[in-house]
Structure 1
Amino acid sequence: MSATVSTAADATLNAHILVVDDDEKLRRLLVRYLTDHGFRVTAAEDAAHARDSLRSLRPDLMVLDVTMPGESGLELVDDLRRNGDPELPVLLLTARGAPEDRIAGFEAGADDYLGKPFDPYELVLRVRALLRRAGAVANTQTVDIGPIRLGDAEFDSARGELRNSGGPIRLTGGELALLTALARKPNEILSREEIAEALDMEEPGERAIDVQVTRLRRKIERDSREPRYLHTVRGRGYVLKPGL
């Protein structure tokens, strides 16, 4: 790993990264490379050790290998989204680069996906992009665009919170970024390009965006197959139509 990335003033510098990979050689290289580029890094050799780390610290992002002995990376991120931290940005690393493997990662709740072998320059760019996205979402939470009603649920933009009568509904970072972007322009069509920009996706692809939309629909729609609030406008993009 010899590529270099400028460390000029960057709000993502000194972010804390949790690296989880059972390959000791690669894990050491990841730690050294990310450290050399201004990040604080904690390493874990498998999902069990990653869980121990997550109990004692709150990283800004997790770089997670998919194929590990015991609990896989997909199983870990899926459980993290369901029962742990739904907002922690997760970048998956895998030797499997087929589209269906990437989609499986997104469906499990990952925010981005990088196939092995990878260019270290691209790794740092993707890490920074995910950190910027997380920061951008946090910043939008300070801009109050008023509550958005979605049936029995309500999205509070100032808090960045979706809730219904049962309490808060957990959103991943990608889901929150998508809902925030749509809620800022209710009843207006957002193109795929605008959504990709809101999600800070380097190479989103239509399917990757569709997965994020599908995941969000499951949380705001009574029947995600017949959406009332988040509509597809064929050939143009998506639109959020608040209402009861």
Structure 2
Amino acid sequence: MSDPRKLARLAGLLYLAVAGFGGFAELYARGTVHVPGDAAATAANIAAHETLFRLGLAADIVMATSFLLLGLTLYRLLHSAHRRAATALLVLVAAGATAILANLAFHAGALLVATGPAYANSGDTLVLLLLDLHRDGYVLGGILFGLWLLPMGYVAWRSPLFPTALGVLLVVAVVTWLADPVLAFALPDLPGLVRDLVSVPTTVGELSLLLYLLIVGVRRVGVQPLDQVRVDSTSR
């Protein structure tokens, strides 16, 4: 596929899959069963909602796969505009997808301990510990989820394919993505409202990118098949 607009819309669909499957896994599947500070309730919830918890694990696997495919699609779309930035984006997305899958070991471990007969005597505390470790790993993974937006924002800022304002929004989103894990671990007693407010630019930036890819694709000005586009030597 060499049509930039079709590639952009494919990237938008993959981005939507990342948001949809990831949101289901984190906010619903794990959010339904995880009771912070209450090991017995958490373990009981996993046992009672085993199918939902398994679906959450599967959704995160699909999300990580979609994220990697998103990186490959954006690399194809952006490498003619700035090859180094496109390569950096792909590397960071691959690292992020790897981190997501590795962190799922804690989700799978909590499932095994809560529902597996071989682990019947392991105790509820271990279940809660594993889910807490997954939560912390999820927050730390925000570093890679934020950093891939930096080369994306840079290309959006420099390339005529996207509006400059979108590039600015993405760079701001990078800052807030990186700020969140710092606040979470350096100031654990910080009110949740503060972290919610910090995440607003992240949501605005990523939602803007998602909608732009889905609705507009890329700008019509200067759009031509990618196999006919020559890469500027300054971007190599």
Same fold by TM-score greater than 0.5: no
Q: Point out the structure with max Rg over C-alpha.
A: 2
User: What's the TM-score, normalizing by structure 2?
Assistant: 0.27
TM-score (norm 1): 0.26
Larger fraction in strand:
1
Which gives a bigger RCO, structure 1 or 2 (Cα 8 Å, sep 6+)? 2
Point out the structure with the larger helix share: 2
